Structure 1
């Protein structure tokens, strides 16, 4: 691959997060499983091969699942596996990443790269930059305040969404795995998320500027629209685009109500309201507030919510500020902690 500023930036960012976040050194065993079905997958795979010159590289489309598992079986716990995927690799009934974590392997996963448009490549690559001083200070401070919170207010232009309840223990996705069972996960990183202990004590309005569409792409609007929340349920969004109303109709058809569950704080400064990527899983790290619609949440299990639910749809708030127990923690697109 010919060098370019984008490629050089990808190499630099990969080298930094592989070393600083994952704790992997170039001379340690590593396996790269990749495909070449999208330009971004090709770029990232080549960057990994240059950053880790001794990595064992397998093209997913040119080998069998058995051949991949032969290489996985050679690895010892704490060795690294990198998955660069235009879609999402499936080798058995379980997600490949879960299988690798069960073997105590470190994992870096880049799924659904084919959803990223060419004009978004630079934003995605920039989102891979790892600033430990930022992530490992803002993330824990935010978690500390969430874990002791009794009241959170999400304030938009002319609206506010009020959480009058304590919260579940916040989870961190900040590239610090020192207290975690698994090392790694989906990249880019940068998020603190929680959900209210009493979902029915969430009321008010929030202005939304983007949401996950039915094809898992990010659907953004020029003018935010408001959504009315009553007792933890989205009951109305009169000015929403037709695509959003279709999402609500599908959720209601299968789950009757549109529950508001996750409250997420994205930390990744490469993604903003204006600077987006099309893949919802990547854009979820956007520096700002996102919520989830639907009864599904794999981390927080609640009485009254069946174990198997269908929908977890990310929506993004056009938020002016966030107050936790009266303290401003987010304002003007930045955290104030």
Structure 2
């Protein structure tokens, strides 16, 4: 039943798209064969040029502007068909802006029509600019420019499959990015977050590329680069028996000499199988704290075990107690 409903929706959606395409084709065909005059709107990306050296936008500006043109049906059809494929834009020239300025776009484009850049061959001569539909104005606010490097923090959640473990921290490359923009906005940024993603039942190492969130939306900040790579080392959980691990005695007074019997232990540790196969001798520390564990009435002490952050646990410590003998050093 669910599959039938899904197929029906898919068929309806496909039909709507096809009808819309046919309708647009008819309209464009009508325009293309007509020499009558029409008016139509077109959307242009806005490009900011010639910001003064040492300055930056302290507020974001609109990304696009909608302009109304007048022309023959043939010219407007050509504009609609080719505008997405040719580099066209509305240029805001900030060469004379020192700190703050409002561009009233209708007046600006009538005085400087060359700021409308359409790279479709032969189209500008066939069109007449009528007005700016939106926005009617754009406010420019400049501030001192600054850039600094900040840390990248991951918002990626990984659910590890049963019987597996993540070894080590997430490796982020690069681990710092460059934040650029107005000094007031850059000073507020201490870190940049990745986009949020969730991966479930992960049972092998993997690498992903994720985008970064704007740390202060609306303030015109630029981040370089815009993406980072995250590496996760996921390994099957295994165990390894360690023998003759030396036991250290810490916090011994300078006038005493301490002997343990025996001076080594054996234990089993668990962790990622690849990590265990190349285990560093410093990954497991076994010790006795003379200051807190020794007393004249108790000559047997339990060794303490400290594992590095990549090992999960230990068990089967042998022996469980050690004899501790303290003697005074010769003066």
Q: Give the alignment's TM-score, normalised by structure 2.
A: 0.21
Structure of higher CA gyration radius: 2
Q: Give the alignment's TM-score, normalised by structure 1.
A: 0.21
| Greater helix content | 1
| Greater strand content | 2
Task: Kindly indicate whether structure 1 or structure 2 has the higher relative contact order, using CA contacts under 8 Å at least 6 residues apart.
Answer: 1
